Structure 1
Amino acid sequence: MSAYNSFAVVGGGMIGLPIINALAARHVSIVLLSRPDSSAKTVPSGVQVVKVDYTDAAAAAAVFKAHNVDVVLSTVNSVASAAQKSLVEAARLAAVKLFVPSEYGMPTEGHTEGVVGDKNRIAGKYLLDWSAGIPSTRFYTGLFIDLIPWLVGHSEHGKFRIVGKGEAPASYTAAADVAGFVAHVLTTLPRSELENRVFRLEGDRASMKDLGALFKAPVEHVDHITGEAGGLKTRLLTAGDTGRGSTGWDEITKAEGSGIKAAGSANALWPGHQWKTIKDFHNL
C-alpha cells in the first residue's frame, strides 16, 4: 500500500477538481489550494479549501504543514506554470514527500524551450537537482478527449481546422480517466514505484484526419488558428503534427519509445479499468 495519506491539490480547474473527486472517493485527507481571486469551488464533503497566493512559498508551506501534507499535486495551467517553482520551494519548506508537477499533456523530457521546456525543468532539473531532493511523479496523458471539439473549432463551426498534414497519430485520454488513474496509483503503489517515475497514459489514439472522419466533419488545413486561445491551439496542433502528441514520443530520438516508454504503457497499472474512447466519449 502507498505510504501517502494526505494530499494537497493546487488549482481547481479542469483536471484539479476531477483529481480531488477521485481522491475523495478513496477516503484520504485532501486540501485544495485556490487563488485568492478565484471563484468558489464545489468539492466533496471533507475537502478543505484554502485560498492562498501560489507565488508566496512561505504561505503555501504553512498550508502544507498545517494539513500534514505528504503529496503536493500541481494542476496549474500553462500560463501559471512559473508558479510551480514557488510551490516546489513550499514543498521543501514543509518536508513534503512527493511532488506531482503539472504535466497532463505531451511528454516534456528533452524539451528546453517554451512552456514545455519550463515544465521539463521543474521535474527534470529543479526538483531532482535541488538540495532538497524532492521526488516527483510525472503523468503524460496526451490531449484530453474532452477538448477535441474545442481544439479544432468543431464546436463553433462544425469543421476540423488543423495545422499541418494531420497524419501523425497522437494520444488522447479523458480527464476523468486521468484523475482516476492518478488517484489509484498514488493510493495503492508503494513509494518506490512512484518516486521519480513517469507514467504514460493513452485512452485512445488517432490522427487529426482520423478524427475528422470519426466526427464526420470536413478537415480544413490552415497555417494558424485564430480567435480565442488561437496561439495555444496553434502550438498544440503544430506539436501534434510532428508526432509529439503521442505519450510515447521521445524528443531526443524523435521516435516512439518502447516498453515502459511506450504510449499507454502505464494503463496496465489500473487493471480492470475500461478506458474511454473518443467515439464513446463524444457519442459518435
Structure 2
Amino acid sequence: MFRFLLSLYIQTIQFSVPSDRMSTYKSFALVGGGTIGLPIVNALAATKVPVILLSRSSEAKAVPSNVQVIKVDYDNADAIAKVLKEHNVDVVVSTLTTMAAAAQKTVVDASKLAGIKLFVPSEFGLPTEGYTEGPLGDKAHIAKYLTSVGIPSTRIFTGSFVQLIPWLLGGNGKAQIIGKGDTPFSTTSIPDIAGFVAHILTTLPPSELENRIFRLEGERVTMNGLAAQFKATPEYVDKLTDRGEHEGFLNFLVSAIEDGKASTGWNGVKEGTGADAAGTGNAAWPGHHWQTVKEVHNL
C-alpha cells in the first residue's frame, strides 16, 4: 500500500516552469531515482538543462526523453567520477534514502575527483542538525564531510512529505499518536520540493546556494489536527505497533514530532528564529503557492 500510494503521487506530478529562466549551473546529475529523486529529475528536465540520472538499478526509469539513465556502482568513486566528467556535470543532487545516507560518502569522493561545483546531499526530510548517530546522524556526517573536502553544499530541510501523512497516521480510521499530539511540525508536498530544487539550482547564483540551508514548510500541522482532517480517531500510545516493516522508523519519526524535532526550524537544540525559522526557505521561490494537506489529499 505504501509503495502504491507513492507511485500514484509520482505519476501525477506536474511542474510549471517559467520560460525565461537562466541557468546558473549548466549540467546536473541526480543520484537515486526513488520517491523524491524522480520528481526532481522531472522538474530539472523541464527547465531544459542537461540532466543525467545515476542509479544502482538497471531497471527502466520513467524519466523524460532528454534524461539519460546511467547504471553505476555507488561503491566505486573512480567509476562515478568518470561519468560525471564525461557529462561535464556541475551539480550533483543526491536523493538516496535515509537508510542509505552513509553511502553518499563515495559519491562525495567521486564529486571531488570530478571537480563538482555544488553538492546537494540527501537531506530531504527532518533537520539533521544535532544528530550524531542513526540515519539522520549519517546525513549530518555527510554535511560535515562535504565541508572537510571543500565541496560547497546546499542542504534542504523539508519536514515530512505531505503525500505520506496517511501512512504516518496509520489508517483504518485511527491515528496512532505518541504523546499529546499538539506539537507543531513541518510538512511539504513532493511536487513543491522538486520544483523548489529545480528553481533554486537554475536561477540563484552560487553565492546564494553555497553552504546554505533552506528550511521549507508547505504547511505547519499537528498530529491531532491531521487526525481531525482525516476523520481518524486519535489513539494515544507510548509506542506504535502493527505498522509493518517500517515500524522502527515510524516510531522514531512520530517521537521526533512530539519532541519538536520535526519542524524544519529545529536547530539541534531548540526551534530556530529569524533566518533559521521554519519556512524561511520558501522565500527563495517567490510567488509560489505551497500545497496544503487538504489540497493534496482532496479533503
Note whether the superposition's TM-score is higher than 0.5: yes
Q: Is the 8 A contact 2:102 2:142 kept in 1?
A: no
Q: Which residue of 1 aligns with 2:227?
A: 212
Any residues of structure 2 matched to 1:236-247 within 5 Å, and which? 236-247=253-264
The one of 89, 93, 97 equivalent to 1:77 is 97
Distance in 1 between residues matched to 2:44 and 2:125, nearest whole Å:
20
**Contact 1:2/1:191, CA 8 A, preserved across alignment:** no
Which residue of 99, 106, 116 maps to 2:126?
Answer: 106
SS at match of 1:13: coil
How many Å separate the matches in 2 of 1:142 and 1:153?
18
Per the alignment, residue 201 of structure 2 pairs with 186
Equivalent of 2:138 in 111, 115, 118 = 118
Residues in 1 aligned to 2:77 and 2:168: alpha-carbon distance in whole angstroms? 34
* 1:225 to partner: Cα distance: 3.3
Report deviation, 1:121: 1.1
- Residue type of the partner of 1:141? T
Q: Give the alignment's TM-score, normalised by structure 1.
A: 0.94
Alpha-carbon shift at residue 2 of structure 1 (Å): 4.7
Per-residue displacement from partner, 1:215-271 (whole Å, max 9, x unpaired)?
A: 11101122123322111111110111100010011213x2x2112211110111111
| Equivalent-residue separation in structure 1 for 2:297 and 2:173 (angstroms) | 14
For the pair 1:129 / 2:148, whether they are aligned, the reply is yes
What are the equivalent positions in structure 2 for 1:1-284 lying under 5 Å apart? Answer: 2-36=23-57, 39-123=59-143, 125-130=144-149, 133-154=150-171, 157-222=172-237, 223-226=239-242, 227-252=244-269, 254=270, 256-284=271-299
d(CA) in 2 for partners of 1:232 and 1:110? Answer: 18
Aligned to 1:104, what secondary structure does the other structure show? coil
Q: Show structure 2 runs of 5+ residues with no match.
A: 1-21
TM-score by length of 2: 0.90
Unaligned runs of 5+ in 1: none
Amino acid at match of 1:129: S
- State the secondary structure of the residue aligned to 2:220: strand
> Contact 1:163–1:241 at 8 Å: present in 2 too?
yes
Q: Any idea what SS the aligned residue of 1:103 has? A: coil
> How far did 1:39 drift?
2.7
Aligned length: 276
Give the conservation status (yes or no) of the 8 Å contact 1:225–1:233: no
For the residues of structure 1 that align with 2:90 and 2:241, how far apart are their CA atoms?
A: 41
**Structural RMSD (CA):** 1.1
Deviations 1:117-140 (Å, cap 9, x if unpaired)? 1101111x101022xx00000000
Give the match's secondary structure for 2:245. Answer: coil
Separation in structure 1 between the aligned mates of residue 262 and residue 129 of structure 2, nearest angstrom? 13
Asked if the contact 1:127–1:134 (Cα under 8 Å) also holds between the matched residues in 2, the reply is yes
AA in 2 matched with 1:119: K
Distance 2:268 2:88 in 1: 37
Q: Distance in 2 between matches of 1:22 and 1:243?
A: 31
Aligned amino acid, residue 142 of structure 2: I
The residue matched to 1:32 in structure 2 has which SS?
A: strand
Answer whether contact 1:225 1:231 (CA < 8 A) is retained.
no
Separation in structure 2 between the aligned mates of residue 55 and residue 79 of structure 1, nearest angstrom? 16
The one-character-per-residue Cα deviations of 1:139-168 (angstroms, maximum 9, x if unpaired) are 0000000000012212xx121112222111
